[in-house]
Amino acid sequence: MSFRTTDQRDKFARSWKLISIPSKSNWKGSLLNNRILLKAMTRLMDRFQSQTLPVLEDTCYEVGKEDCNQLKDTLDIKADDARSCLEPMEMICLLNGINAEILSKNRNTASLRMHACPFNDVLVGVVPSNVVCKNYFRGTIQAINHKATFIHPEKMCNGDDVCEFVVNV
């Protein structure tokens, strides 16, 4: 009798595997994971904003650096001038289907103009997109040159037509 039960379980497992349920379960698990983390972050911000916000800012910065370091080799970035600091962010925009352009003024100053925001759907309801944006962006430019700084004179989240970042090295 136990042999039959094991045989039935194996047959059931093979049937579900044939219709790709395991991969669908992983996908659903990922969505569930994201939903739980988003709710947890929202509650942490509601209860402990003064302690949670710096952690989120640091996390966005670190993720920006990590993403940039992965793109550096692909983009073959060798220099650490202002334009080079913007190339990973330009690629991130292009990968998200966002039109972006780099305007170089000289070796020490360049600007990136984006025609849409790649961060407007990140941590929605937890922190404003500009918190994610400025810290992630700072991480990407400082992964190329740790002394790089930027200003953000035009912001779509403030009603401007484009987002512009001006990097100085």
Kindly list the domain boundaries of the chain, sorted by start residue: 49-168
Find residue 114's DSSP bridge partners. 100, 163
Between 22-36, 69-83, 123-137, 151-165, the lowest mean confidence (pLDDT) is in 22-36
Q: In terms of DSSP bridges, do strands 100-106 and 163-168 run parallel, antiparallel, or are they unpaired?
A: unpaired
Phi/psi zone of residue 80: left (φ > 0), alpha (ψ -120 to 50 degrees), beta?
Answer: alpha
pLDDT at 38: 80
Give the residue with greater pLDDT, 111 vs 46. 111
Distances (CA, A) of 99 to 27, 47, 91, 116, 142: 29, 38, 10, 7, 22
Handedness of CA 140, 107, 73, 117 (dihedral sign): positive
Confidence grade of residue 16 (pLDDT, cut at 50, 70, 90): low
User: What is the pTM (predicted TM-score) of this model?
Assistant: 0.75
Confidence grade of residue 168 (pLDDT, cut at 50, 70, 90): very high
Confidence grade of residue 90 (pLDDT, cut at 50, 70, 90): very high
Domain 49-168 is found in CATH 1.10.3470: no
Q: Which tokens is 143 given?
A: 């992964």
pLDDT, tens only, 48-82: 888 888 999 999 999 999 999 998 888 888 888 99
With beta carbons less than 8 A apart as the criterion, state whether 156 and 85 touch. no
pLDDT at 10: 60
